[in-house]
Amino acid sequence: MPSVKHLNTMLQLYFRNFSILFLGILLLCGSVFGQSKIDSLTNELQQAKSDSLKVVIRIKLSRQIHREAHNEDQEIKHAQQAVQKALQLNDTLLYAQALDNLGLLFRFHQDYDEALPLHTKAFKLVKNKDITPLYKMIFANNAGVAGRYNHNYNTAISYYMEALKIAEKENDLKNIAIASNGIGNSLSSIPGRANQALDYFKRSLEAEKQRDNSLGIAMNYLSIGDYYIDKGNFLKAREYLNELLEINSQRKDQYGLAITNEFLGKAYLVEGENLARAKEYFNTSLEGFQKLGDRQKQAEIFSSLGNTEKRQGQLRNAEEYYQKSLELARDLDLHGLLMANYLEMAGLKEEINQPVEALKYFKLGKAYEDSIKLTEQNVEIAALVRKYDLEQKENRIKLLQKDKALQKTRLEAQEQLLEKRRILMLLMGIGLLLILIIIFLQYRNAQTKKKTNARILKEEKKKMKAIYERNLARSEILVTRLQINPHFLFNSLNAITYLIQTEQNSKAMKYLVVFSRYTRMVLETSQKHIIPLSEELKLTRYYLTLEENRFEKDFTYEIKVDKESGLEEINIPPLLLQPFIENAIWHGLLPSKRETKQVLINILTGDDEITISIDDNGVGRKKTNKKSSSKKHKSMGMQIIKERISLYNKSYSGKITYEIIDKKDENCQPEGTRVVLKLQRITEENPLNPYNNEAATIS
């Protein structure tokens, strides 16, 4: 499903292409009239005598270089010089404008970490100043945009709200539309708050209609269409997107038509009911982007076509589209798209039983994933260095200004009071010295206390870290003890071998695939502390399928889930269900003489907890315990389960409890066993809580 994050990227590309078109017109005009705008502004800068005028010209020059030449080093250089000069002039509004301009340039180059603090600082400088409200709205909206693109949605909403309040007071429809649309896009990206986004999109749309701004109307139709796609209301989404298609047709906006067709295709793809229609829209969008020469969008559309063909089961066609997307992505060095395509190819190759090719593509995808992370770290480091340099310059200039003011005051005081108040100055000097001594003593005591507290805190952290690492180590040891039973592996392989020997090849292939996926999932999940409940159920299905093969016709199982959605958000220790199911089969069903032996797993999801029940119709625990005691067999299974649950409950906010119930018929005879597990939902943002030493609750 296309996310709001993806929509933001689309809108950025939309405006980027519009900017390129506008830039081409400017270059054409510059060639016609001789001198370019950059040369003109450079001459103005050399001739300017006022420092304030120089700051204004440098701001214009940095933006013009971005439009005409796209020389990032030159743009940033002029913008930073404007910031430094405005800071020296002590002009708050001019300094805020220079900071906002530098933030815009960083934003144009997608350096949102650096852009956000510059925009927020610009707004804070003028927030309570008596200046033209338009500047406050511009700075606040720019801060909101930078925060949204940086995925810092709470910050984005707070600044958009500041801009919206000022715009409403000034009845500024343009900034009402900008702020409302920004709030809507930010809310759409926050889990649990997306429902509030639609009101802001509609408010922005109404403001743009009052302004008769077709581009703004188109942007909001796209936002609303994506909102309904995200909500699964595809009929409503297509209504807005079809209206958007008509608007872009009237505007003769080729890029708008291409992106609208792309979103119509995505709506059908996500819905999954008419994939042929999805391909039609994607192909129409592809033709549009090919005419515009936008190779990045072509690469994205090829990837979407590959996903569509893959869902239709046309794996060869899907592979061709992925290869086309990869070719363009490699030329354009689009690491994110390369990573996504390689991972899709890996899954595709796995489906057609080409494990070597699948592994090759999987490694390539992971390599690009690591590359993206490294690039992001380098950008963050560069942002921190630039921020530090700017703060140092600000502090240095402020210190010089304070020194100058202090020196001037002292000189004036000396000139006026040197003869008449010599004794008073002497007393003041003595008093000042005493105050400095007191301050020094207080400072020394505070530093000593601070060092002592830091030392104590450090020791506390070491102690808590040791406790946490001990618990973590114990958890990993317990998980290791729950690895696949070698007898189960050998028995499964023997069962598959029997199928091959009896020439049941298709059935053998089916169980061999299940067996390979099961062992692979066990190897992957056993290295994790928690996994989604959906993965645990998938692993359980594989296990039961293999056991069903071994029992042949007298064993059946069923897994019922009341709500399929939301299982990805529920976490559980890996391989927690398998020991219970294994006990049900081997100690309950295997000794049973029933004609049909059954295991039923039922999952009920509530608001606060999830209940998992495992029922079997075996001989019950009483007979099993007698049999086990007669052989003097001491099982460690239940003790291991208790320790794993206890460690989980100490490390996470969500608690797990379980209860084993002996089922009996109307004659009080054993009728099987039921295991009921209850999982509380993890509510904390960071679920891992190594300092929580609360005891586990086990029924």
What is the Cα 648 distance to its own chain's centre? Answer: 25
Considering the chain, what is the average pLDDT of its residues?
80
Task: Give Cβ neighbours of residue 124 (< 8 Å, ≥ 6 apart).
Answer: none
Site of tokens 């000139």:
415
Q: Residue 173 and residue 18: Cα distance in Å, rounded?
A: 23
Q: What predicted TM-score, i.e. pTM, was given to this entire model?
A: 0.47
Higher pLDDT, 655 or 4: 655
Site of tokens 């001989």:
619
pLDDT score, position 405: 58
Q: Which of 12, 21, 23, 19 is nearest to 69 (CA)?
A: 23
pLDDT score, position 674: 92
Q: At what angle do helices 275-292 and 295-311 cross, to 10 degrees?
A: 170
Q: At what angle do helices 234-251 and 254-271 cross, to 10 degrees?
A: 170
Let me know how long the chain is: 699
Widest CA span of the chain, in angstroms?
120
Q: At residue 287, does pLDDT exceed 90?
A: yes
pLDDT score, position 614: 94
Average pLDDT of the residues in 439-446: 90
Q: Residue 395 and residue 554: Cα distance in Å, rounded?
A: 81
Domains of the chain: residue spans and CATH: 294-377 (1.25.40.10), 478-680 (3.30.565.10)
Q: Residue 333 and residue 577: Cα distance in Å, rounded?
A: 44
Q: At residue 471, does pLDDT exceed 70?
A: no
Q: Residue 131 and residue 139: Cα distance in Å, rounded?
A: 13
Amino acid at 593: K
What are the pLDDT digits (tens) for 93-136?
Answer: 999 999 999 999 988 887 888 899 999 999 999 999 898 999 99
| In contact, 58 and 80? CB cutoff 8 Å | no
Segment among 218-227, 299-308, 622-631 with least mean pLDDT: 622-631
| In contact, 63 and 43? CB cutoff 8 Å | no
What are the pLDDT digits (tens) for 498-550?
Answer: 888 888 888 889 888 988 888 888 888 767 778 888 898 999 999 888 888 87
Q: At residue 55, does pLDDT exceed 50?
A: yes
| In contact, 556 and 596? CB cutoff 8 Å | yes
pLDDT score, position 167: 92
What are the pLDDT digits (tens) for 619-655?
Answer: 887 766 655 443 444 455 677 788 888 888 887 777 8
Q: Which two structure tokens, joined as six digits, stand for 380?
A: 């963050």
* Residues linked to residue 688 through DSSP beta bridges, in sequence order: 652
Task: Give Cβ neighbours of residue 235 (< 8 Å, ≥ 6 apart).
Answer: none
End-to-end CA distance of the chain: 42
Q: Residue 302 and residue 327: Cα distance in Å, rounded?
A: 10
Average pLDDT of the residues in 251-277: 91
pLDDT score, position 699: 32
Q: Which two structure tokens, joined as six digits, stand for 622?
A: 């009483």
Q: At residue 56, does pLDDT exceed 80?
A: yes
